[in-house]
């Protein structure tokens, strides 16, 4: 049996990872001999895409310096995808079948990835998520790596009378620096969820939102673990405001107090209180 890769056809979706380990996806629009007209989708996530993801049908719009406006990222590439690309299925090209050409050529597929998407997303992340907090000067802890943080979160059992006890007991045995790092990481992730789309509000309904309820619901999302958290972020999903895991906010403080007998006074770099993600909420205010 031949292991030769089949020739890509219109509608097929190929995914690969950027050097920063985020996933992106390309969709084939047209084929002319060994050249392929493709578009970069709007998909950008640490999780590989599934064929049902609506982002795969959406163009990524990059800024065209010549036209001075955003334009869909459509271009020609030659050859076939390299081993780093994975075919995940086909989508309906309804509404896109008429796109047969482009003036842009992006080289050999095997060596290609849409660097403009990665660059723009990183800039967006820096602008929206890397805000300086309003706190006194001080030294901030480094965040925990993803594997360590989520393995700690997995110790939470929301079915128990004291769901955080196992986590607190584990943390109090670790160095103080690790407790600080846990608080820093938790605060950042809560900050990432502090967005109107997760609260399910628009410019008019914002006033009805309970800031505390939204914060406690964001805590509950984190207690569900890494996969659920990543899905909520990726899909900009609305969070159930009936959820409540307020106890998560006291974990680092309690672990520190048990370990040292002193009051926990560490202030994290990211403020997790509702409306602290000012860039996200300002966009909503501007829509009124």
User: What per-residue confidence (pLDDT) applies to 141?
Assistant: 84
Percent of the chain exceeding pLDDT 70 equals 86
User: What per-residue confidence (pLDDT) applies to 120?
Assistant: 76
What is the C-alpha separation between 176 and 174, in angstroms, rounded?
7
Lowest mean pLDDT among 2-11, 26-35, 194-203: 2-11
User: What per-residue confidence (pLDDT) applies to 128?
Assistant: 40
- Element containing residue 115 per DSSP (H, E): helix 115-129
Q: Is 115 buried (19+), middle (13-18) or exposed (0-12) by CB count in 10 A? A: exposed
- Residue 139 DSSP symbol: P
| Residue-wise pLDDT tens digits, 78-102 | 998 989 999 999 999 988 878 888 8
User: What per-residue confidence (pLDDT) applies to 25?
Assistant: 96
Q: Which CB contacts under 8 angstroms, 24+ apart, belong to 128-131? A: 128/277, 128/279, 128/280, 129/191, 129/192, 129/277, 131/270, 131/277, 131/278, 131/279
Dihedrals phi, psi of 281, to nearest 5 degrees: -75, -30
| Residue-wise pLDDT tens digits, 188-242 | 999 999 999 999 987 655 668 999 999 999 999 999 999 999 889 888 899 999 9
Lowest mean pLDDT among 8-12, 93-97, 138-142: 138-142
User: What per-residue confidence (pLDDT) applies to 110?
Assistant: 87
For helices 176-192 and 251-260, angle between their N-to-C axes, nearest 10 degrees: 170
Whether residue 169 has pLDDT greater than 80: yes
More confident residue, 137 or 259: 259
CB 239 within 8 A of CB 232: yes
User: What per-residue confidence (pLDDT) applies to 205?
Assistant: 57
pLDDT-based confidence at residue 162 (cuts at 50, 70, 90):
very high
Q: 178 CB contacts (<8 Å, ≥6 apart)?
A: 144, 171
| Residue-wise pLDDT tens digits, 43-79 | 988 889 999 988 899 998 876 656 666 788 999 999 9
């Amino acid at each position: 049996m031949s292991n030769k890769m089949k020739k890509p056809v219109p509608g097929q979706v190929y995914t690969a990872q950027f050097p920063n380990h985020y996933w992106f996806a390309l969709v084939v629009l047209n084929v002319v001999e060994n050249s392929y007209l493709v578009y970069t989708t709007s998909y950008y996530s640490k999780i590989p895409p599934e064929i049902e993801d609506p982002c795969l049908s959406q163009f990524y719009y990059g800024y065209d310096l010549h036209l001075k406006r955003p334009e869909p990222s459509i271009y020609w590439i030659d050859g076939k995808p390299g081993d780093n690309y994975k075919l995940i299925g086909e989508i309906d090209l309804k509404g896109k079948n008429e796109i047969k050409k482009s003036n842009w050529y992006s080289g050999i597929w095997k060596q290609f990835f849409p660097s403009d998407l990665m660059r723009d997303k990183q800039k967006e992340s820096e602008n929206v998520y890397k805000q300086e907090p309003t706190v006194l000067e001080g030294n901030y802890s480094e965040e925990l790596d993803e594997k360590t943080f989520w393995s700690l979160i997995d110790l939470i059992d929301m079915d128990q009378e004291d769901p955080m006890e196992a986590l607190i007991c584990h943390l109090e045995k670790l160095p103080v620096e690790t407790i600080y790092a846990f608080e820093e990481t938790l605060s950042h992730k809560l900050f990432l969820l502090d967005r109107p789309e997760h609260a399910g509000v628009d410019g008019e309904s914002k006033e009805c939102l309970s800031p505390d309820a939204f914060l406690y619901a964001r805590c509950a999302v984190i207690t569900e673990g890494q996969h659920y958290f990543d899905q909520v972020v990726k899909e900009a999903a609305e969070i159930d405001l009936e959820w409540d895991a307020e106890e998560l906010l006291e974990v680092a403080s309690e672990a520190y107090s048990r370990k040292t007998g002193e009051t926990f006074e560490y202030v994290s770099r990211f403020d997790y209180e509702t409306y602290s993600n000012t860039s996200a909420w300002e966009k909503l205010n501007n829509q009124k």
